[in-house]
Structure 1
Amino acid sequence: MQRDVMNYDVLIVGAGPAGLSAAIRLKQLAAAEEREISICILEKGSEVGAHILSGAVIDPIALNELFPDWKALGAPLHTPVTEDHFLFLTEKGGFTIPEKLLPPLMSNHGNYIISLGNLTRWLGEQAEALGVEIYPGFTGYDLLYDESGALKGVVTGDMGVARDGTEKPGFAPGMELHAHYTLIAEGTRGSLTRKLEQQFQLRDKAEPQKYGIGFKELWQLDPSQHKAGLVMHAQGWPLDNDTGGGAFIYHLEDNIAAIGYVVHLNYSNPYLSPFEEFQRFKTHPKIAPMLAGAKRISYGARTINEGGLQSLPTLVFPGGALIGCAAGLVNVPRIKGSHNAMKSGMLAAESVFEALGSERSHDILSSYQEKLRASWIWQDLDAVRNVKPALSRFGSLLGSAYGGFEMWLARAGIRTPWTLKHGKADNECLQTKDQATRIAYPKPDGVLTFDRLSSIFLSNVQHDEDQPVHLTLKDASVPITVNLAKYDAPEQRYCPAGVYEIVEENTDPRLQINAANCIHCKACDIKDPTQNIVWVTPEGGGGPNYVNM
């Protein structure tokens, strides 16, 4: 197939905080030395920010470095944290852990409650003002290599392909985008990232990456229940001690609260439904009163990297690098990754700028890894490197206590001489159905708790129904012969959007994939027991269209 070719100095896949920060930093460096650097960013969402979902309480450390005058420039950080509470919940009650007992690393004072989607949109405006070309609605579908085996760019997805693979009227083939360097910033469990990890054996020396699935709803609260700047985190009920996770409630401006829940995807019970656990959380007697008279206005879900330092792959390869959540830079106990994502993009930009200045092409950007290791990103992640494996090994109660102990030691300048391992990948952690206990979840009441379909309606998800299914199966028989037979089809429960259903057809069960429901969380790609489900990019512009998330 003949494809148009466009050439750039730098190509970035993903217009999130990492990708945009990389582009901005490159343009800043180029302007300082009066050099021209052409930069293109691909974004699979319909617009910049459409697929961005996060809590979010942001540590402004990276933004301060990228734009010291961000307040004057109008960055959408309007709500500084004023109160910071941590709760442990039992089924009927619970208690607040005094702030003075929590490691200072967990404190949110000096941070801001934001919509990360809105911050990303603002960063996109700053990038375009500096001359960066951003193409929303275009996916990075496949990788291109030169004769030496180095990455030389990507192919964007074809537009106008029917479900049966034929070309519809208006078909447009994808373009080839070539660049001296390509930065992969496509977020958690990206499809190109996975290919690069295999092509260049980037994960050979790393522990398995670990993940959580995070849910978020925006609620319009009764003014009497709202307090701008209030941050609440919670552990405990409804999850048992062997299942990691927790909740957040962040009070933004205009009587809006972000309510969310994270479930670690190394849970073992195939009957557990992370979505239903989130719905149950809102009925707790310490939470439900806040939602009296409130209205739910938005919903979304996304997976989160949780592996930390142990799970970092090699971040560089001939022709490019991984940045942001494609690298896996989330600080789990802080529930923060945006500051690290932005800084990683800035550090990669500095390495690319140096390489372009020396007229090297497709070299390995080894200085990026060196810069990252010498940066505060490494310090941020090193101090908490044992928290996630401790939670997995000892359970939520003892694991949290141990993690807090290590964080207090780090505060005192003491580093423990060991680094705990994660062990199994998340997909390897499920019990079989005969070993597990069924969980009876209550029906949604339509007031505090809701079903999946009414929820994804609020995510503004859109896909052209007549396109190839982007949730692919390596073996079409496995969902029945393995997943249903051994685990009672857990994909029906871990998916937050009702994509997967077991239906009876002539008395025989089959898996039905409702691909149009998909909100691009990637949980299926991660948690499927045999890794038989492979998420690939749908037609550009498809998926959720998050507003203020």
Structure 2
Amino acid sequence: MLANTGMRASAAARLALRSRGAAVRLNGVRGLSAAADEDDPRNMEREAMEYDVVVVGAGPAGLSTAIRLKQLEAEKGREVSVCVVEKGAEVGSHILSGNVFQPTALEELFPDWKEQGALGDDPTPAGEDKFLFLTSETGAIEAPSLSIPPTLHNHGNYIISLNLLTRWLGAKAEEMGVEIYPGFPAAEVLYNEAGGVVGVATGDMGISKAGEVKDTFMRGMELRAKQTVFAEGARGSCSEDVIRKFDLRKDSDMQSYGLGVKEIWRIPKEKHQRGLIQHTFGWPLDSATYGGSFMYHHGEDEIFIGFVVGADYKNPYLSPYQEFQRFKHHPKVKQYLEGGERISYGARVINEGGFQAIPKLTMPGGVLVGCSAGFLNVPKVKGSHTAMKSGMLAAEAIYDALETIEEGDASEVTEYETKLKDSWVYSELKSVRNYAPAFKWGLYAGVVYSGVSGFILRGMEPWTFSKHGKMRDCDATEPASKHTPIDYPKPDGVISFDLLANLSTSGTNHEADQPAHLRIKPEKKDMPDESISVYAGPEQRFCPAKVYEYEDDANGKPQLVINASNCLHCKMCSIKMPDEYIRWTVPEGGGGPAYEKM
């Protein structure tokens, strides 16, 4: 933790030094209008810093890209300047995952990763795998181990905190000469006159909630690059911008998502089964709703427990958070939690489109890696190893191409996509491409097909199912008139918790006096009225941080209230809002959750 804090401080100092006056501070000046004013510091030309490669996002994919570039520099002798920007206050502070980690890519990146302690002093090897079908609030059927497809076995994997592994990768990258700037989110993609990507710009800081310049104002910085690597994770704001601009999904399915909510518990040691991995499906979800749970026994007394609900669910009254809370009361789960203590909470969307939803990976001046592209192995619920490998392949293609790219060229490194398609990432995802889409015909059909594919067809079937084609997850939501409100049990404060009480353990914090980073798209300003009148305001229930509420105005008409300071950066609102009426933008630097072990 202290090393990471030092990483942020040193990076910020370097950025300030290299900006050569780009940080404009207005001592004692307040209330400056945002109108078209030539003296408005927001209209000043931004200072720029030049790099060979700029990476957006200091997660496993982005850091693997940066590290591999520096490894190639050491191997081949040609220098490459690499900068990584990260919206979290520290490297790893926005990282959340299950996480049963498959070390395939880490082994390739650092063959001596065990000796270097990449997974900590005492990594937890994966132990027994259990799969349970919860038939009711008390009933369960355990699947025999021989019925679990080989692709879902976890032998050789480790139960880890991906948050801590990311910090380790960040430290390694800095040791190798990568410049990492936590707390400086990429707010805008930069394009040249021909429309190619030439870098990103960080956001202005020091703007009040009313849109006025404060005396702490700091102009954003342009980070220009020969190649820009988008590694923001699922539904990254800059990544989605370039996907739309270059129509990168033209030949793929629309990406679909699931919302994962997670808690870390400390439980009595006599109940802890080091390495136990338990997944469930079925109750409390109905057979038409895709989702399930995970519970991983980590270390000596910790449990990582969570619940994932596919964002294509139909019932607007469903609350993924509340489903998670009542799930924990099932006897097969509660038996481990009783006498324990919940110590932290968080939430994040994951990609669930799989192989069919992988977009075109390259564009003039940039590439997509990791979950920005969607390399999650859906039935395994694992994407860290594929994300890391995609970053490594991108680095290899970019390094070779840099020798002939001139500044401002925005060349397209198509060799990256070729390398990806020739790699184990592509073959692994292709082999499980039909698992998740089979569930669109219901839980039982999905389970049966997954078994047939896993044991008999082994992913070699000549057909490929489409999950939803070009349909968005928000389009699956049905009007409230077709459904009955769900009466969720009141949390007991011991096993289940009020949402805001849980949120307090996430470390979430945003500068209060700043413009909201969650904005209603101007062309959809009337959608909140439709949301509450037609869909009963599903945003009140799907948001895992209680950001969205409806309150009656003086005339008794419901009005949307956005509590942006609560935001966990899960991105669910940009996906599940009716007609996607919310635009998710980055907040002022460093805002958001402060995960330490998620």
TM range (shorter): over 0.9
Over residues 127-150 of structure 1, what are the superposed CA-to-partner deviations in whole Å (9 max), with x where a residue is unaligned? 001000000000100011112221
Deviation larger for 201-210 or 539-548: 201-210
Report the secondary structure of 2:418's partner residue.
helix
Q: Kindly indicate whether the alpha-carbon contact (under 8 Å) linking 2:59 and 2:231 is maintained by their aligned counterparts in 1.
A: yes
Q: In 1, are the aligned partners of 2:228 and 2:366 still within 8 Å (CA)?
A: yes
Match of 1:182 in 2: 228
1:40 aligns with 2:83: yes
Does structure 2 retain, via aligned residues, the 8 Å contact 1:84–1:107?
Answer: yes
Aligned to 1:112: 158
Partner of 2:547: 499
Confirm whether residue 341 of structure 1 aligns to residue 375 of structure 2: no
Structure 2 counterpart of 1:425, one-letter code: R
Distance 1:271 1:147 in 2: 47
Aligned to 2:257: 211
Amino acid in the other structure paired with 1:130: M
Q: Is the 8 A contact 1:161 1:168 kept in 2?
A: yes
**1:274-285 equivalent positions in 2, closer than 5 A:** 274-285=320-331
Distance 2:375 2:536 in 1: 34
Q: Distance in 2 between matches of 1:46 and 1:367?
A: 34
- State the one-letter code of the partner of 1:44: K
How many pairs does the alignment contain? 547
Counterpart secondary structure, 1:434: helix
- Does residue 289 of structure 1 match 2:338? no
Structure 2 residue 362 is the aligned partner of structure 1 residue 316 = yes
Alignment match, 2:70:
27
5+ unaligned residues in a row in structure 1: which ranges?
A: none
Contact 1:6 1:177 in 2 (8 A): yes
Alignment of 1:238-253 (within 5 A): 238-253=284-299
What CA distance in whole angstroms lies between the structure 2 residues aligned with 1:69 and 1:200? 40
Output aligned runs, 1:43-442, within 5 Å.
43-76=86-119, 78-91=123-136, 92-359=138-405, 361-392=409-440, 394-411=441-458, 414-423=460-469, 424-442=471-489
- Mapped partners of 1:374, 1:456: distance in 2: 43
Deviations 1:411-458 (A, max 9, x none): 4x7333333342322110011011112110011110011111011100
Displacement of 1:86 after TM fit? 0.8
Aligned 8 A contact 1:4 1:176 in 2:
yes
Q: Percent identity?
A: 51
Q: Secondary structure at the match of 1:542?
A: coil
Check the 8 A contact 2:201/2:220 in 1, yes or no.
Answer: yes
SS in 1 for 2:550: strand
* Distance in 1 separating the partners of 2:463 and 2:48: 51
AA matched with 2:213:
E
Given residue 515 of structure 2, which amino acid in structure 1 is its aligned partner? P
1:140-190 Cα deviation digits (max 9, x unpaired): 000111122211001101111111111111100100000000000011111
Instruction: Measure, in 1, the Cα distance between the counterparts of 2:194 and 2:583.
Output: 28
Q: Which of residues 53, 56, 64 in structure 2 aligns to 1:13?
A: 56
SS of equivalent to 1:346: helix
CA RMSD of aligned residues (A): 1.2
Displacement of 1:84: 1.0
Mapped to 1, the partners of 2:585 and 2:502 lie a distance apart of: 23
Q: Is the 8 A contact 1:383 1:410 kept in 2?
A: no
SS at match of 2:331: coil
CA drift at 1:287 = 0.9
Tell me the distance in 2 between the aligned counterparts of 1:384 and 1:76.
27
CA distance, structure 1, for counterparts of residue 236 and residue 287 of structure 2: 31
- Could you tell which deviates more after superposition, 70-79 or 276-285? 70-79
In structure 2, distance between residues paired with 1:480 and 1:127: 44
Of 475, 486, 511, which residue of structure 1 is paired with 2:560?
A: 511
Residue identity matched to 1:14: G
Which residue pairs with 2:582 in the alignment?
533
How far the C-alpha of 1:98 sits from its partner, in A, is 1.2
The answer for the alignment partner of 2:16 in structure 1 is none
Tell me if the contact between 1:478 and 1:532 (Cα under 8 Å) persists in the aligned partners. no
Shift of 1:407: 2.1
Query: Whole-Å Cα distance in 1 between the matches of residues 229 and 533 of structure 2?
Result: 42
In structure 2, what residue type is equivalent to 1:46?
A: A
Listed one character per residue, the Cα deviations across residues 388-412 of structure 1 (whole Å, up to 9, x for unaligned) are 21112x111211221221122354x
Matched residues in 2 for 1:401 and 1:523: separation?
30
Cα shift at 1:479: 4.4
2:513 corresponding residue in structure 1: 466
Distance of 1:346 and 1:197 partners within structure 2: 21
SS in 1 for 2:565: helix
Select between 312-321 and 146-155 the one with higher mean Cα deviation: 146-155
Asked if structure 1 preserves the Cα contact closer than 8 Å seen for 2:433 and 2:464, the reply is no
- Per-residue Cα deviation, 1:53-97 (whole angstroms, up to 9, x for no partner): 000001110000000000111111501112111111111211111
The residue identity in structure 2 corresponding to 1:325 is C
Query: In structure 2, how many angstroms separate the alpha carbons of the residues matched to 1:421 and 1:84?
Result: 27
Return closer, same or farther for 1:419/1:45 CA change in 2, 3 Å cut-off: same
What is the SS of the residue equivalent to 2:188?
A: strand
Deviant stretches of 4+, over 4 Å = none
8 Å CA contact 1:479, 1:511 repeated in 2:
no
Q: Displacement of 1:359 after TM fit?
A: 4.0
Whether the aligned pair in 1 keeps the contact of 2:353 and 2:467 (CA below 8 Å) is no
Q: Which amino acid aligns with 1:531?
A: E
Which AA in structure 2 matches 1:433? A
**1:2 and 2:45 equivalent?**
yes
Letter in 2 for 1:103: P
Structure 1 position 480, deviation (Å): 3.8
Q: Deviations over 1:344-371 (max 9, x none)?
A: 0000000101101334542111111111
3-state SS, counterpart of residue 153 of structure 1: strand
Q: 84-93 vs 275-284, which deviates more? A: 84-93
More deviation in 300-309 or 82-91? Answer: 82-91
Output the CA distance in 2 between the equivalents of 1:218 and 1:312: 31
Cα distance, 1:40 vs. partner?
0.2
Cα separation, 2, equivalents of 1:355 and 1:537 = 31
In the alignment, the residues of structure 1 paired with residue 578 and residue 76 of structure 2 have an alpha-carbon distance, to the nearest angstrom, of 52
Kindly indicate whether the alpha-carbon contact (under 8 Å) linking 2:49 and 2:222 is maintained by their aligned counterparts in 1. yes
- SS of 1:163 mapped into structure 2: coil
- Per-residue CA deviation, residues 268-319 of structure 1 (Å, 9 max, x unaligned), is 0000000000001100011111111000000000000010111111110000
- TM-score w.r.t. the length of structure 1 is 0.98
The secondary structure found in structure 1 opposite 2:402 is helix
Is the 8 Å Cα contact of residues 12 and 39 (structure 1) preserved in structure 2? yes
Residue aligning to 2:9:
none
1:164–1:406 CA distance, 2 compared to 1 (3 A) = same
Q: In the alignment, residue 582 of structure 2 is paired with which amino acid?
A: I
The equivalent residue for 1:452 is 499
Give 1:477 deviation, angstroms. Answer: 4.4
| Residue aligned with 1:469, SS | coil
Normalised by the size of structure 2, how large is the TM-score?
Answer: 0.90
